[in-house]
Amino acid sequence: RLGHYILQGRRVDLFGVRDLPRATRLISARDVPDFASWRCTESTAWRTHPRGQAVEVAIELSGKTKVCLVSDAAPYRAGGSFLSGGPHDEEESLCTRSTLYMSLAAAKAEARRQRLAPPPKAVRASPRADGADWACHIPRDGVVLSPDVEIMRGGVAAGYRFGSQPVVLAAVVSVGMPNGNAQAADAPEDRPTSPEEYRRGLPR
């Protein structure tokens, strides 16, 4: 873990790399206090911005305020196809551009330690082809919290070019997306069986 990269002969440091895995958290709905019990010392300000890709908007706003980016993520494969070289959707692109994957890898290890398991009905409905057990790293009712993620590369349109200075996000929150494809090889079919069941899960 070098914690830096060299761009045109100049060293650019990534200051959060060493602490990111240790600071990563798996957070479930049951771990969060009821909203009514919260005590806020500051009022909430809602801001609007022009349309754009979430990462680009986050980068633009990060110089003005603290930004938390919500990322739709693959709960059974940390980073999606980032390591295997598959198609780049949002999560894969974000892992390529930033230090996020180090956090997701830490979440995977922590989930294994906690013996985090997918829903039993999903496992029964979609056994793995190799007979092994499914393993997930994002709680069914929660998220992975990755604080101080540094973005140091441009997007795919820019050829993932390294930037002159990393942009630090306050956090990336990875939310697991349900899978409705029974033929998927890397995830069980865990989509809710009805729209009502899906909506019940949203507040969590």
Q: d(Cα 25, Cα 21) in Å, to the nearest integer?
A: 9
Give the mean model confidence (pLDDT) for residues 107-121.
Answer: 89
pLDDT in tens, 20-69: 999 999 999 888 877 666 676 777 777 777 787 899 999 999 988 899 99
Q: Which residues are CB-contacts of 56 (< 8 A; sequence separation ≥ 6)?
A: 155
pLDDT in tens, 59-74: 999 988 899 999 999 9
Give the mean model confidence (pLDDT) for residues 109-132.
Answer: 80
The answer to whether 134 touches 122, Cβ cutoff 8 Å, is: yes
Cα angle 170, 51, 149 (rounded to 5 degrees) comes to 20
Report the candidate in 168, 166, 192 with the shortest Cα–Cα distance to residue 179.
Answer: 192
Provide the pLDDT for residue 36: 63
Most confident of 116-125, 159-168, 180-189: 159-168
Q: C-alpha distances in angstroms, 165 versus 6, 14, 63, 111, 136?
A: 11, 9, 12, 33, 34
Per DSSP, the three-state class of 9 is: coil
Domain 19-30+51-201 falls under CATH 1.10.1740.10: no
Domain residues of the chain, as ranges?
19-30+51-201
Provide the pLDDT for residue 88: 80
Q: How confident is the model at residue 87 (pLDDT cuts 50, 70, 90)?
A: confident
First to last CA, the chain: 36
Mean pLDDT across the chain: 86
